[in-house]
Amino acid sequence: MRFAAPIDNPIEITTAQYAAILGATPSKGARSPLLWNAAFKAAGIDAVMHPMDTRPEALGAVVAALKADPRYVGGAVAVPHKQAVGAFLDRLEAEAARIGAVNAIYRDGDALVGANTDGAGALSQIEALVGGADALRTRRATLIGLGGAGLAVAAYLAGRTASLTLANRTRATADAASQKLGAIAVDYPLSPEVLEATDLLVNATTIGHPDGPEGAPVAENLLSTLPEDAAVYDVIYQPRPTPLLAAAQALGLATLDGLGMNLDQAVIAFDKAVPGALSAERIREAMRAV
C-alpha cells in the first residue's frame, strides 16, 4: 500500500508496522533508518523505518496521515521540522515542551506524542569527552547554533556547567534562549574574548556538514585562542572529522563528533516507539553493529 500523504519520495508500506523520519531530505544522509531497521530485525518485529521527504507546507498533512494509520509506531524528526512539528501532535513530553523542539514521535493509543532525545544523547557524550559529570560542572561552555538540536543540547547543559554562553546567527534567538535557560547570549561570529573564556565549545550548527554551509563555525585562527585544555564537541558527524574538529585536533584539543549522540538518541527514541521490545543495551548493540 502506498503512503498517500504529500511526501516527495513515494513509499510502499509492505510491513505490519513502520516508523518514519520526517525531514527536508532525510533519505539523503540520515542514519536513523539504518539504526532503527537493525533494532527492528533484532527484536523480530515486522517493521521498517522509511525516510519521508516532507516540505514544511505539507508537514501537518503528513503527520495527520501517520496518526490515522495504526501501523505507524513513531520515529524521528529531522531538520527543518523539529520546532514546527509539535503543533501537529496530540501532546509533548515535558522535556520537549521545555526545549521547544521535537526529534522523536511515538504512538500512545490513538495519540501521537512528541519527545526530545537529542539533549540526553549529547549529554552522555559530552560528559565522556570531558571526564564525567563532575568535570563538566567545572567547564565554561559556549554553544553555537540554536535550532532544534542546539536548543536541546543547551537545555541539558544548563545548570550542569560552570557557565553557559549561547550564540546564534540571529542574536534575538540567542537572547530568548539565554533568558529561558539562565545562560549568557553573545554575538556570532564568536569574538576572541569569548573563546578565551571557553573550555568547552559545542557546535550545533550545520556548518561543515555536506548539506550545510562550507567551512567551520569558528575560523582556525580564532580557534587557537581557546585554552590549551579546551574540549570541542561537534553535533554533526559527516564528514569525519568535521572541518571544526580537524582544526581543533591540529591544535591538540580534545574532540568528539555527534555519531555517538546520534546512536544514543536513537536508542531512547526506539524504546519509546516500541517499549519493551528489547532492553536498551540490546537496542544499542544492534544499532552499533551497523
Residue 286, CA distances (Å) to 72, 91, 175, 245 in order? 21, 30, 41, 28
Q: Considering Cα of 27, then 120, then 126, then 175, what sign does the dihedral take? A: positive
The C-alpha R_g of the chain, in whole angstroms, comes to 19
The yes-or-no answer on residue 28 being catalytic is no
Q: How far is CA 266 from the centre of its chain?
A: 10
C-alpha closest to that of 264 among 242, 235, 243, 241: 235
Which residue is catalytic, options 28, 41, 67, 82?
A: 82
C-alpha grid cell for residue 55?
Answer: 516540505
Dihedral over alpha carbons 187, 190, 191, 193 (to 10 degrees)? 100
Q: How long, in residues, is the chain?
A: 290
Residue 269 grid coordinates:
527514541
Q: Which residues of 250-268 are buried (b: 16+ CB within 10 A; e: fewer)?
A: eeebebbbbebbbbbbbbb
Q: In what order do the strands lie in the sheet with 17-23?
A: 47-53, 17-23, 72-77, 104-108, 111-115, 91-92
Helix or strand (DSSP H, E) at 221:
helix 220-223
Q: Return the active site residues.
A: 82
